[in-house]
Structure 1
Amino acid sequence: MHSAQPPLSAFGPGRHLQALDEQHHDPYQNDEKLSGPAVCEKCAAVYESGRWQWALPPADAVAVRCPACRRIADRLAAGYISISGNFAREHQEEIINLIRHAEIREKTEHPMQRIMSFRAEDGRLLIETTDVHLARGIGEALERAYKGDLTFHYNEAAHLLRLHWQR
C-alpha cells in the first residue's frame, strides 16, 4: 500500500525522492518474504520475523545471500553520491568521518544499508551504497552539518538514487 504523496510544494528543486515501498521497487528485495529464518552466507546477517538484522542465527536458518551482499557481488549500487567543491576538498577528512559515522549508525539497525565503495577521483569523493535510503541519509547529514547545495534524482524504474553535494 502506498502512502499519499506530499504536495509538490513540499519538494525543493532537484528533490524528487518519494517515500519508497522497497518490496515493490528494489529488484534485490524478494517479492515474497522468506518462509523461515535465514542467514547470509557472506555477511552473517539474519533474516527473521520479516526483516534482516544482526543477530545469532537460529539453528534452523537456511543459508542464503542477502540483498546487500548480492548488490556488492554484482557491483550494482542503489545509491551514487558525488561530493565536490573547495570546501569539500579542504575538509575531506572531516567529511569522510561524517559519512563513515552515518553508515555505522544506519548499518547497526539496517544491515542492508552499506557503503559499497568510497574513492577520490578528479577532485571529488565518489561513494556507492547498497540502499537509496543510506545515500539520502548521507546527503542530508552533509547538508545539515555543512549547508552547501544538495541535489538528487531518483529513478523509480531502476530503484537508483544519484545525489550530488557541493560546497
Structure 2
Amino acid sequence: MRREKIKMLSYLKFTEDSDDPYRCEYPNNSYCTECDIVYIDKNWKLKADNEFKKNPIVCPACKKIKEEYYEGILYLKGNFVLGRKDEILNLIRNEEKKQRARTALSKIGKIVENAEEIVVYTTNDRLAYRIGKALFKAYKGELTIRWSDDNIFTRVYWERND
C-alpha cells in the first residue's frame, strides 16, 4: 500500500478499468428499484422519464451497500470534527450530490458516528477521495490517503484538533 500525506492537493489520475465484481452489463432501460437510477446506453443516469424505466433491477451501488462491499472509507477525527459535526456532515452530503451528478453509482453507504470519530463508507474510491479533498480545502487539517496496490480500495484519514 502506498501512503501519501497531502500538503498540496495535486491532480490524481484514476484508472477506469478496475476489477469491480459488481460491474457488468445490464439490459438497456433498466432501473434500480432501490434508488431509481436508470441504465441508458451503457451509462447510469440519475434522472430519466418513466418511459425509459422498463427492466427493474438493483444497481451495483445498492448491491454494494446491501452486502457491505465498500471501496472507500473516510475517517474523521479531532475536536474540530466533533464540534462542527452537523456542518461537516452537510459538506459530506453536498460532495456526494456533486459526485453523483458525474457518476450516479457514487453513493455513501453508511455513516458511523461515535465519541471519537466519524467513519464514512462509500461505494467507490473516488467519492472517499473527493470528500477528503473537499474537507481539506474547506477546513485544512491533516489529510492522509492510503491507496491499495490496484487503486480499487482507498482509506482516507482527515484530522483537525483546535
TM-score grouping bracket, smaller chain normalisation: 0.7 to 0.9
Indicate if the aligned counterparts of 1:46 and 1:57 stay in contact, CA closer than 8 A.
no
Q: 22, 25, 31: which one pairs with 1:28?
A: 22
Larger RCO (CA under 8 A, 6+ residues apart): 2
d(CA) in 2 for partners of 1:14, 1:116: 25
d(CA) in 2 for partners of 1:43, 1:143: 30
Match of 2:31, SS state, is: strand
- Shift in Å at residue 160 of structure 1? 1.2
- The amino acid across from 2:20 in the alignment is D
- Shift in Å at residue 110 of structure 1? 2.3
- Shift in Å at residue 134 of structure 1? 1.0
- State the match for 1:152 in structure 2: 145
Match of 2:65, SS state, is: helix
Which ranges of 4 or more aligned residues in structure 1 deviate by more than 6 Å? none
- State the match for 2:112 in structure 1: 119
2:56 aligned with 1:63: yes
- Which consecutive residues of structure 2, in runs of 5 or more, have no partner in the other structure? 7-11
Percentage of identical aligned residues: 29
The number of residue pairs the alignment matches comes to 153
d(CA) in 1 for partners of 2:102, 2:51: 19
d(CA) in 2 for partners of 1:18, 1:27: 21
Q: 28, 31, 53: which one pairs with 2:45?
A: 53
Indicate if the aligned counterparts of 1:84 and 1:166 stay in contact, CA closer than 8 A.
yes
- Shift in Å at residue 127 of structure 1? 0.6
- Shift in Å at residue 46 of structure 1? 0.4
- Shift in Å at residue 101 of structure 1? 1.2
RMSD: 2.4
1:1-167 correspondence runs (5 A):
13-14=4-5, 18-21=13-16, 23-30=17-24, 33-54=25-46, 55-58=48-51, 61-157=54-150, 159-167=152-160
